[in-house]
Amino acid sequence: MSENYRIEKDSLGEMQVPAAALYGAQTQRAVMNFPVSGMRPYPAFVWAQAVVKRAAAEVNCDLGLLDAELAKAIIAAADEVIAGKHTDQFVVDPFQAGAGTSHNMNLNEVIANRANQILGFELTDPKKPVSPNDHVNMAQSTNDTIPTAIRLGCLWRLPELMAAIDDLADALEQKAAEFDDVVKSGRTHLQDAVPVRLGQEFAAYALAVRNDMERIETAANRIRRLGIGGTATGSGLNAHPEYHQRMIAKLSEITGHELRSSGNLFESMQNMGDAADFSASMRALCITLVRIANDFRLLSSGPTTGLDEIRLPAVQPGSSIMPGKVNPVLAEMLNMACFHVQGNDFAVSLATQAGQLELNVMMPIIAHNLFEMMHVLIGAMNAFTTKCVVGLTANREKAYGWLAKNPILVTALNPAIGYLNGAAVAKESLATGKSIKEVVIEKGLLEAETVDELLDVRAMTEGGIMAGGGGGGG
């Protein structure tokens, strides 16, 4: 052993471990075996697994299975990890051994060694009393702690995710109120359509986002179902009969979340459907966000050769060669973030269906992708809201200008002149450049006063049959 290493043992034998590392032999083997991405576990995964270890120590102590002094030290060590300490000790690549054994043992070893230090033992002391397997992992298996940690980690970041969605919806609603007076050309098939108000477009965006928020809330409610205590296969071997319910109560107390039993501990390890459902709800949000971001890019396009109906905040130069160019960079960022998250969701769906018999061994990548989805969405939505939506403005002059040239305004005259007459008026307007009003009067279809009354563009955005209409003549 050199000065930089110490010797640790596991069931396969001895391993050299960095002298100051709190982890042990199994973690070191994982570092050596899986030099894949260079990434480390998300803080949510570390936090959640530490919460499980802390709760288990307390429950096992209360059941008389774990020595009180050892339990106290384990709880203190776990509390340090929960508080965000020792983050450099969690070193296992997300692409690791199936089921998450390496991640579980990383937590077990760090907490055990830190507990031994709290009890006054050196890391090299062969008599250090706290064992990562026998004590920190008591009444547990990777197979029930990892799915439990996935659920707890998602719930840990859920308030941040919901706040980011809520802030975006609020900002869109504020713009809906601000733009309620802006009447503009509607567009379907990317072609001119009957008038809408810019505020109506933004109110629809806001509601779509809130609907996705509701979907995520519903899926998150199913994440609250825990199978902790099933140990290796769901039978609960090596766990006290009261352990499962006590753990749910203790985890609820520690986390502040309302947790409940899955109702079937075998199902909890066989099936990752709740995780896939939660992932899918975030994918649905991404679908909405991509659509909104694309609309922002269209509505702000140009400015001289595009729609230019809204102006996005200029946050950075848009080109290294074209001076003065400004791009819709926050909308582009949101697109890319959402494409990435939808890819994460696809990985979760593939990993979820890969479960076999009593266990889904693909849980590490399910965990990594769920936490990445939440992390990316929170950051992307917060940036889009604060740096784009809040500061965008309406180009009223351009919106009114496009609407004035829109031959589809003749639609409001349909009840009075009929669809076919309306089509003829629209064609002539396009061909001659004359206004709808001019063509209608020239053809003797309506009086000028009636045309003015029927072509009230603000009233058109409220729906109904325009005044003066009677039939659908031909």
User: Which is the catalytic residue, given 2, 102, 185, 319?
Assistant: 319
Tokens of 107: 């937590």
User: Any catalytic annotation for residue 86?
Assistant: no
Q: How many CB atoms lie within 10 A of CB 95?
A: 13
Output the CA–CA distances (angstroms, integers) from residue 153 to 51, 57, 141, 317, in the order listed. 10, 19, 18, 38
User: Which is the catalytic residue, given 189, 240, 375, 429?
Assistant: 189
C-alpha closest to that of 171 among 394, 388, 395? 388
| Residues 167/283/362/26 CA torsion (nearest 10 deg) | -30
Helix, strand and coil percent figures for the chain, each rounded to 5? 60, 5, 30
Q: What residues contact residue 185 under an 8 Å CB cut-off, 6+ apart?
A: 192, 193, 195, 196, 399, 402, 403, 406, 408
Cis before 303? omega within 30: yes
C-alpha closest to that of 337 among 278, 386, 374, 380? 380
Rounded to whole angstroms, the Cα distance separating 73 from 162 reads 36
Rounded to whole angstroms, the Cα distance separating 48 from 151 reads 8
- Pairing mode, strands 225-226 and 260-261: parallel
Residues in the chain: 474
DSSP 410-465: GGGGHHHH-HHHHHHHHHHHHHH---HHHHHHHTTSS-HHHHHHHT-HHHHTT-SP
Tokens of 32: 């050596």
C-alpha closest to that of 200 among 169, 171, 178, 168? 178
User: Any catalytic annotation for residue 368?
Assistant: no
Rounded to whole angstroms, the Cα distance separating 102 from 92 reads 7
Would you please indicate which residues are annotated as catalytic (active-site) residues?
Answer: 189, 319
